[in-house]
C-alpha cells in the first residue's frame, strides 16, 4: 500500500493553496483531482480585494493576476421594487482594484501548476471513493481498487465532500435546498469597466459578473418556490425565463433576452451544506467542504484561501507532533467566520421577507455610511461583527 504524509482530495483553489503552503514547508503532499482536465462547474467568480491579495501571497505575479482577474468598480444590487445600491468594497476611487471577476478556467489550473512547482504531486483524473480512517480507496473501475494510506487526509472536495461523508460529519445546509445554475455568456464590450449586478427577484436572485476572456459569468440561485417550475420546464427554459426578466441597464451591453451562451448550464443542488466539525483523527476539511452557506454574500473564494492558510499551519504542526493542532484549526475557523455566517443568515432572512428587504435596500441606497460598512463586511475587509452591532442595525433600519 502506498504511504503518504498528506493526501488532499480536491484540486480547486482551497486544495491547491494548501498544497502550495505545505510543499513550501517541505512536506510530502499528494493531491487528487477527479477531473482529468479543467472543466466548467458551478463555482464562485466574484470576490473582493482580499482574495486578490491572498492570491499574490501564493506567488501569482501582477501579470498573472491581470490575466485571471477583471476589475469591477462595484457590485450593484437591484430589487424588484426598483431600489438600487452599490457596494464598492472600500474603494473611494483611490484604489487600484475594488472587486474582481475571476476566470476560473485560467485561475484553477494556474494554482495547481504552482502546487507542482512547490513540490506537491498532483494526480488528475483520479476519484476517491472512500476516505475512512486515513485509508483512501480510489475509484478505479476495476476489480482491484487501489488504496493509499496517509498520515492526514484533507477534504478540499467541495459541497459533496467524500472526506466529510466518510467521517460522518456532512450535514444539510441551514438555508434549505436551493438550486444554483451557472454558465457564461459573451460580453459585447469586454474592454469597458462596469459594475457587476446582483438582481433580486421573487424566490431567487441572479448575479452577473464580467470576467476575462470576453465573457460574463451568470449565477442563478432559485429557492423552493421555483422547484416545480424547474422540474417541469427544465434548466434551459427556466434560465431563459430568468434571463428574459433581467431589466436593462445603461452600463450593461448584454441583450439578456438573446444572450449567446459560452458553455453548458452547470447546476448544484443543494447549494449549501454544513459540517458537524472540521477536523477529526487524521483528517481536516477546507474550503466549501468545511461548510458553505450563501453565494449572495460571496464568501466562498476568500474562505477557501483563509482555510488553506490556517490548515497549512495546523497540518505542519500536527505532523511535527502537536496533538492539538487540528482542533486548533477548527477553533480558528469558527472564530474567524462565525460572525460572517450570522450575517449571511441575516441577509437570507431579509431576502425571505421581500417587504423587509426592499425597506433595507432603500436605506442602504440613501445612507452612505451604512452602505460603506455593509460593503466592507460583505467583502471581508473588516470584522463581520460590525454588521451585528445593534447601533449599525439601528442605523440601517430606522425610518
Q: Quote the CA–CA distance of 379 and 394 in Å, as a whole number.
A: 21
Mean predicted lDDT score pLDDT of the chain = 91
Provide mean pLDDT across the span 47-76.
92
pLDDT tens digits, residue range 253-286? 999 998 989 989 998 877 777 889 999 999 999 9
**How confident is the model at residue 269, as a pLDDT?**
79
All CATH 3.50.50.60 domain ranges of the chain, comma separated, are: 2-72+97-175+273-343
105 with 12: CB under 8 angstroms? no
- pLDDT band of residue 236 (cuts 50, 70, 90) is very high
pLDDT tens digits, residue range 127-154? 999 998 888 899 866 556 788 999 999 9
109 with 38: CB under 8 angstroms? yes
157 with 10: CB under 8 angstroms? yes
Provide mean pLDDT across the span 313-335.
96
CB atoms within 10 A of CB 135: 16
Checking if the pLDDT of 7 tops 70, the result is yes
CATH topology of domain 179-268: Alpha-Beta Plaits (3.30.70)
All CATH 3.30.70 domain ranges of the chain, comma separated, are: 179-268
29 with 319: CB under 8 angstroms? no
pLDDT tens digits, residue range 359-398? 999 999 999 999 999 999 988 889 999 999 999 999 998 8
pLDDT tens digits, residue range 378-388? 888 899 999 99
**How confident is the model at residue 363, as a pLDDT?**
95
Q: Quote the CA–CA distance of 225 and 268 in Å, as a whole number.
A: 17
CATH 3.50.50.60 fits 2-72+97-175+273-343, yes or no: yes
**How confident is the model at residue 267, as a pLDDT?**
85
Q: Quote the CA–CA distance of 289 and 153 in Å, as a whole number.
A: 13
Provide mean pLDDT across the span 196-219.
95
Amino acid at each position: 500500500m502506498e504511504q503518504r504524509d498528506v493526501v488532499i482530495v480536491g484540486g480547486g483553489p482551497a486544495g491547491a493553496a494548501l498544497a502550495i503552503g505545505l510543499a513550501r514547508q517541505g512536506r510530502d503532499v499528494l493531491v487528487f483531482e477527479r477531473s482529468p482536465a479543467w472543466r466548467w462547474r458551478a463555482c464562485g467568480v466574484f470576490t473582493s480585494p482580499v482574495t486578490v491579495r491572498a492570491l499574490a501571497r501564493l506567488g501569482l505575479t501582477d501579470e498573472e493576476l491581470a490575466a485571471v482577474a477583471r476589475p469591477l468598480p462595484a457590485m450593484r444590487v437591484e430589487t424588484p421594487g426598483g431600489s438600487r445600491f452599490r457596494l464598492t468594497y472600500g474603494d473611494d476611487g483611490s484604489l487600484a482594484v475594488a472587486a474582481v471577476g475571476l476566470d476560473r478556467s485560467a485561475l484553477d489550473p494556474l494554482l495547481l501548476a504552482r502546487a507542482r512547482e512547490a513540490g506537491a504531486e498532483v494526480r488528475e483524473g483520479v476519484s476517491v471513493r472512500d476516505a475512512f480512517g486515513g485509508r483512501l480507496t480510489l475509484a478505479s473501475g476495476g476489480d482491484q481498487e487501489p488504496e493509499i494510506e496517509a498520515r492526514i487526509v484533507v477534504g478540499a472536495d467541495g459541497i459533496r465532500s467524500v472526506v466529510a461523508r466518510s467521517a460522518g460529519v456532512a450535514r444539510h445546509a441551514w438555508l434549505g435546498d436551493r438550486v444554483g445554475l451557472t454558465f457564461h455568456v459573451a460580453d459585447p464590450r469586454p474592454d469597458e469597466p462596469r459594475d457587476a449586478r446582483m438582481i433580486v427577484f421573487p424566490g431567487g436572485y441572479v448575479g452577473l459578473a464580467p470576467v476575462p476572456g470576453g465573457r460574463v459569468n451568470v449565477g442563478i440561485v432559485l429557492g423552493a418556490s421555483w422547484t416545480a417550475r424547474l422540474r417541469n420546464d427544465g434548466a434551459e427554459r427556466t434560465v431563459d425565463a430568468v434571463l428574459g426578466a433581467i431589466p436593462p441597464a445603461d452600463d450593461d451591453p448584454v441583450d439578456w433576452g438573446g444572450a449567446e451562451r459560452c458553455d453548458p448550464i452547470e447546476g448544484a443542488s443543494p447549494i449549501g451544506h454544513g459540517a458537524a466539525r472540521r477536523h477529526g483523527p487524521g483528517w481536516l476539511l477546507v474550503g466549501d467542504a468545511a461548510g458553505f452557506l450563501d453565494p449572495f454574500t460571496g464568501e466562498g473564494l476568500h474562505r477557501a484561501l483563509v482555510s488553506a492558510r490556517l490548515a497549512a499551519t495546523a497540518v505542519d504542526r500536527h505532523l511535527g507532533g502537536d496533538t492539538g493542532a487540528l482542533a486548533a484549526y477548527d477553533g480558528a475557523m469558527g472564530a474567524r467566520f462565525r460572525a460572517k455566517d450570522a450575517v449571511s443568515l441575516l441577509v437570507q432572512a431579509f431576502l425571505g421577507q421581500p417587504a423587509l428587504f426592499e425597506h433595507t435596500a432603500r436605506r442602504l441606497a440613501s445612507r452612505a455610511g451604512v452602505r460603506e460598512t455593509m460593503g466592507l463586511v460583505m467583502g471581508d475587509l473588516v470584522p463581520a461583527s460590525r454588521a451585528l452591532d445593534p447601533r449599525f442595525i439601528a442605523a440601517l433600519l430606522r425610518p
